[in-house]
Amino acid sequence: MSLLHSLARRLDRISLAPVAYAHCDIPCGIYDPHHAQMAAHTVIRMVDLINQLEKPGSNATPEQRQEYTAKLTRYVATKEQHAEIAKAEVRILWGDYFKPDHLKTFPDLHDLVWKALKSGSKARQEINLQAAEDLLKATNDIASIYWKTKGLETMTVKAPYPTERQTVYPKFR
Amino acid sequence: MFPFRRFRVEDESMRPTLEPGDYVLVNRWAYRFRSPGPGDLVVVQDPEVPIRFLVKRVSDAKNAAHVEVLGDNRASSRDSRAFGPIAIDRIVGKVWLRLRP
């Protein structure tokens, strides 16, 4: 292979090869589990909002039914979208950030990722608070591992969102 | 027209498949008798900067006239997630060989 590579380089002196960009969007090496955690919070919030939504009674007006349907549709759409965001963010951390060395230190990482993806799918498909809670727990556990690989301690505190669930944050010094 | 054309890879969105500094040999006749399929490595004209070429992987080719492409390094790739599907006639060819230093 390297013979052909040096041949290609020599050809460049005669006629420069055009560049094919493996174009980047953002600088590489920038990862943060917070996106996944926030998306999981959103899923919980949407399940809460859906459950709090008053169903139209038998004597509801068409307008009331329409308003109910519009709200329900928005909450469901947002729930599904953010469950998918949480899954995508977990996959990015798993596929792009975590390395085999990390796995030696944190052998349950694969299992956690699997739990996050499974509970994320369930939270997306159903109106299921437990699945949403499981998704947040898995993203918290992954965040905890992520920050440990960065040499940072973590703290688990109540999130400053309406969901108020326990959330893992790094302790920046 | 000679079917093969070489390109030099720059940038990191196809890591670890392609590293900056690799060369790729691209077969410009690859799609004369068959259509691009998911998983194919292709060089395409950049839909955002038409004078530039991109190397990406086909993720979806269900629509006969268009393909969707993604970088293997998802976390840092600008691809169909940003600029949408690419028309078939923007495909330069299929990567046939990778040359690594």
Q: What is the pLDDT along chain B (101 residues), one digit of tens a residue?
A: 689 999 999 888 899 999 988 999 999 999 999 999 999 999 999 887 777 899 999 999 988 899 999 999 987 888 998 889 999 999 999 999 999 98
Q: Average pLDDT, stretch A26-52?
A: 90
> Over pLDDT 90: what percentage of chain B?
68
Domain positions in chain A are 2-170
Interface list for A 77-96 with B (CB within 8 A): 91-92, 95-96
Of A2, A9, A23, the CB nearest to B54: A23
Predicted ipTM of the assembly: 0.86
Tokens of A63: 């307008």
Give the span between the Cα atoms of A5 and A20, in whole angstroms. Answer: 16
Which residues share a beta bridge with B43?
Answer: B55, B93
At residue A148, does pLDDT exceed 80? yes
> Smallest Cβ distance to B76: which of A5, A12, A24?
A24
Give, as one character, the DSSP assignment of residue A70.
H
Domain that holds residue B87: 4-99
Distance separating alpha carbons of residues A108 and B57, to the nearest angstrom: 31
CATH number at residue B23: 2.10.109.10
Give the CATH number of domain A2-170: 1.20.120.400
> Phi/psi class of residue B21: alpha, beta or left (left: φ > 0; alpha: ψ in -120 to 50)?
left
Q: Which residue of A has its CA nearest to B99?
A: A5
Residue A27 pLDDT > 70: no
Please give the Cα distance from A39 to A130 (Å, whole number).
Answer: 15
Q: Give the distance, in angstroms, between the CA of residue A100 and the centroid of all CA atoms in the same chain.
A: 21
Which residues in chain B touch residue A15, judged by CB atoms under 8 angstroms apart?
none
What total number of domains does chain B contain? 1
Contact A53, A72 (CB under 8 A): yes
Question: Is the overall model pTM greater than 0.90, yes or no?
Answer: no
